[in-house]
Homo-oligomer: A and B are copies of this chain.
Amino acid sequence: MSNNARFAEIAALAGDPGRASMLNGLMDGRALTASELAQLAGITAQTASSHLTKMTEAGLLQVEKQGRHRYHRLASPAVAQMIESIMRIAAPEVSVKAVRTGPRDAALRAGRTCYDHLAGHLGVSITDALIDAGHLELGIDAGEVTDSGLVLFDRAGIDVDVIAKRGRILCRPCLDWSERRPHLAGAIGAALCSHCFDNGWIRRIEGTRAVSVTPNGQRQLRETFGVSLS
């Protein structure tokens, strides 16, 4: 198959509403069953199954069989990045009189996971606080944790040395589609996200990839990282 045909094939896979919904649903890095994905996309199990087969064969997804369940997840961070980059083009301009499309959407804008790190107002706020304090440098395409940042993370109980050894880029920016500004991604972004979940600072809003900040989380984020969520 020619290179170009394969390009079109991959893009076309993401270009079906049903499949797009499923890919979106997997953007938080979780592995979901075929039924869950079917419901999420609003299609029958048969249709979903056919879609999932195609996407798996094309290398977009990975399946893990576990008893009578089949867990599907994005095949790699590269796939998540592809989805993000499409989302960035697809995200409507944030107009002055932007239509708020409902409470569910508002929650997503407030805070959500993006593959394995934090996004939305929450993610950008944390990122901004780290940059303002000189712990982080972040552009649209590249980023770096400063020495003071390394100290800070270490003090917070996030062992950067261990994380850095996993052969994954430590620190990279990810352009937020709702805020249209970069937030922290990469291994350190993922570690920070886990840390927030593990310590009960944030909690997932059932059935979505939106997250809410607990009162304790709000305090801890302010005290540890200087984050103020307006």
Contact = CB atoms under 8 A, between A and B. Distances in A.
Given A82-B89, A140-B169, A16 B7 contact: no
A171 interface: yes
Q: Is the interface of A mostly helix, strand, loop or mixed?
A: helix
Contacts of A186: 141-142
Interface stretch (A17-25, A114-122, A222-230): A17-25
B86 A82 contact: yes
Interface in A112-162: 139-144
Nearest to A140: B169
What interface size band does chain A fall in? 35 or more
Given A10-B89, A82-B88, A142-B144, 6 more contacts: A7-B24, A8-B15, A8-B19, A10-B15, A12-B12, A81-B85
28 contacts: A3-B90, A4-B24, A5-B20, A6-B90, A6-B92, A7-B14, A7-B87, A7-B90, A8-B14, A8-B15, A8-B16, A8-B17, A10-B15, A10-B90, A11-B12, A12-B15, A12-B16, A15-B15, A78-B85, A78-B89, A81-B85, A139-B169, A139-B172, A141-B185, A142-B143, A142-B171, A142-B172, A142-B186
